[in-house]
A = this chain, B = another copy of it.
């Protein structure tokens, strides 16, 4: 009991100076990269340039991000965790459709609240439009996240979803929302318009669930 309390006490300050500095360099790299990409374009900005501008070595860049593209996707994991938590913390007996809808809403809201206003989504959209490499990497990340969500859902609803229907359902939903979002962003829509398009697409995607209820 005591050790539990002790552990809980430590949680808030669990970041030492070392960890804080690490996060600082990480943030600096992300911000610097975003700025340079916006100024000169993605292809025209080298990792060496980013490292130089952030005043670290090129090697350090790759200590924080496995590839050049990943510096753009850094917040993806947080969004995935959000979705997974919604699934995990569902009320017992909550219907699949409702849980999936809530999970999706959480991600859309987070995007609307954080990415769109910060201009990060718009930047990402620009980069997606003119760099196939970025496009491929983002798609790949989205796909992996999708697979994780599918797995979580299948564990939560084993009697309804099997090995391939779970991915197909999630694929339909995520596919609908992300295709709509990218189309909207590439058309130069405002953040509000894009959010609206995502919500509409969510409805479309969710109706894929009708195939299971007959």
Contact = CB atoms under 8 A, between A and B. Distances in A.
Contact of A135 (B140, B169, B170, B203): B140
B172 A205 contact: yes
A204 B173 CA distance: 11
Interface string A105-127: 00000000000000000000000
B167 A180 contact: yes
A150 interface: yes
| Copies of this chain assembled into the complex | 2
A167 B184 CA distance: 9
A164 interface: yes
16 contacts: A136-B136, A165-B200, A166-B183, A167-B201, A168-B176, A168-B180, A168-B204, A169-B176, A171-B175, A171-B177, A172-B173, A172-B204, A172-B208, A175-B175, A204-B212, A207-B208
